[in-house]
Chains A and B, each alone.
Chain A
């Protein structure tokens, strides 16, 4: 298994290189120019040229790219173009940390509710609870974030006054509740449905019948044999849902006013702050690869039959 992990990790730099090349090419040759955005209505060619020189944007594209990558390898993500003189790492690190905590809270909500609920529904297949709950889950999943966000704000903040309407105070602050719900609710539904399907699948397997036949208690069958096996497909989905959370984070962060990376990334794109865009893309890609790797590794622990080689 170690060989597998090392091999996967060796792919990481190659993948990051590919991602960086694509991002850089799109940024540089796509429309829009950071200097033009900065000067806005006051654009004039001379000032623009001077700025390009100061920001190093007048250098040949390959030199810019090489320079950036050389810095990146050494852990230096360059300086922001929009916030002149600010190291990118200093800008994005605290924002990524905020978004990571928010994503974790959302994940806890969707997994914490979704898994037990899905499992429970699978064991109640055939009763009225099952289709009702699935219908509700589907409905919740289908409501767009643009509806849940103001809705939750209106109820939780303005009507009931339980939580503030905006801001961020860390993982253990009440202000995390609304954004975590906004991000986590659709996940509950997805998780419930997946867990239900997966559990049903396992329930129909021969080894469950065997387990029951050899007289194991229902609790033992459920927890040891059904739940563990049903978890397998979920783990993969978990890794992917982290990526989905990052997408949803932009809207949640904007509506609630959270200083996270989602909103910052979008603003950086609109302002063509290339070093920031590159850093966020690369860190994101790296995190995604690692999450998948973790999922693969955890397979081996959940199901001893799987041997990763």
Chain B
């Protein structure tokens, strides 16, 4: 029996200030409308590696119970209303962001899914077997699995859908990330053939995947929408706008999508996998003042921003009873250094800047305790999180000493230092202002700020043009240290924007990729994280603090999850 551990897959760059105060920036960058709403971890499941190594079968059984519970309830009907943004895409193969994903996971589905407790559960597959060497997965598709139009889902449909996602003509930015364990995937990704050797159709309902190594996290990767099943006729007939009338397999079908106005989802009557509650989901795409809309009963859910927080926290305020305090999302904000560029090519200089910042002071006095100071890379509660990691704490004397030891001690010969931030408001965030002042006071180092608008920022970031950059964060879609550390710090990763390179770290990360023992794997990641932090690749700034969300009392069953998972089918409207 295979063990499985959670794997981090996507990381979504968020350019919000950690406190999410400037909603304008959030909206441009990661178009998730309600940043703080975007769901919260039930972090006990993912607390440590030990818990997450429980056997796959056990998890499957537990979740089946949850599913059957839900089936016994009659549909509640009703409408669930919320604010959303125009999804950049509704094509499951192209999804890279939470705004798209939040709609796509309700319209489409795959062999397996994540439950609202972040457990791996069967979806269109009713069962699967894993070969003793851990490289061959044989799935049996549910007999009652159908598309919205009633057509049965076959193994051939899955094969076609996954091959389509990997086909270069689809131009999926994530196919490589999520499907690259399949044998023969590179031939398809690079356009040499259109069929993936590692996918075999055994019969109508039996599908076999062969992967290149016994990777415990393979199943978890299949929960991402690149592995969802599509209706070939629907896709081919619809051309580039096929997602206007998608024939999916998810719990909801797309009733209406008017760009910039609204998305309306309607419950798919033929959905048999449980939790049939609300009939209609209305996602308002036109924007508006969410607090006012919520108070006037125009929407059922809203995040609470910094400015409304004090009022909502007041127990005398009627809204207080509707407040849900949710544990934080798994994300971190940071200041990135370009380790290839002076003066950040000197580790002592980078460390000096780290030691000169009093994060506790900023978190408490400036950011109203909405954030937790970060000294490591992995957020608290995240698998692999290391509570013993010391990090580079505030230590002005040591900071000064390190500055003296660095080759940039002399201000006369030190290069001009510019930190680039994204945005369009002219304000750079209170935390950054204080940090600049601390660098000035503790070290006498002058740092300039350059603010560029998001499109420009991204372009220059990808070209590694920045000497240092702030206003960026990373958010895990998926609880595992792999991509947090591997994607951001492996010297070959295209998302290692600072060009950080440490051969020892690379070796550890590569070893961890294929380490089957979850405990050993986490140990490898902890070693890598310690090296990364010790090298001062970044100034890790903040982990998100608790999130505050208002939910109307008539809405039941809405779960705040730390990442996007299909969950609207569990929402019930009880008016």
Contacts and interface: CB of A to CB of B under 8 A. Distances in A.
B338 interface: no
Contacts of A287: none
A157 B286 contact: no
B453 interface: yes
Given A40-B13, A153-B292, A165-B298, A259 B286 contact: yes
Contacts of B258: 259
A83 B259 CA distance: 9
Interface string A62-94: 000000000000000000001111100001000
A33 interface: yes
Residue from A41, A85, A165, A166 with most neighbouring chain B CB atoms (10 Å): A41
B455 A50 contact: no
Contacts of A232: none
B434 interface: no
Interface string A161-195: 10011111000000000000000000000000000
A133 interface: no
Interface string A31-65: 11110111111111101001100100000000000
Interface string B413-436: 000000000000000000000000
Given A37-B458, A95-B260, A150 B289 contact: yes
Given A31-B452, A33-B455, A41-B495, A85 B239 contact: yes
A213 to B, nearest CB: 58
Nearest to A271: B455
Contacts of B285: 259
Contacts of B455: 31-34, 36-37, 270-272
Contacts of B88: 38, 82
Contact of B292 (A157, A259, A272): A157
B171 interface: yes
A154 interface: yes
Contacts of B12: 40-41
Nearest to B85: A267
A298 interface: no
Contact of A165 (B89, B260, B292): B292
B259 A91 contact: yes
A247 interface: no
B114 to A, nearest CB: 20
Nearest to B258: A259
Contacts of A167: 284, 286, 288, 298
A270 B453 contact: yes
A33 B286 contact: no
A104 interface: no
A256 interface: yes
Contacts of B286: 166-168, 253, 257-259, 263
Interface in B451-477: 452-456, 458-460, 462
Leading 3 A-B pairs by shortest Cβ distance: A257-B288, A85-B240, A32-B455
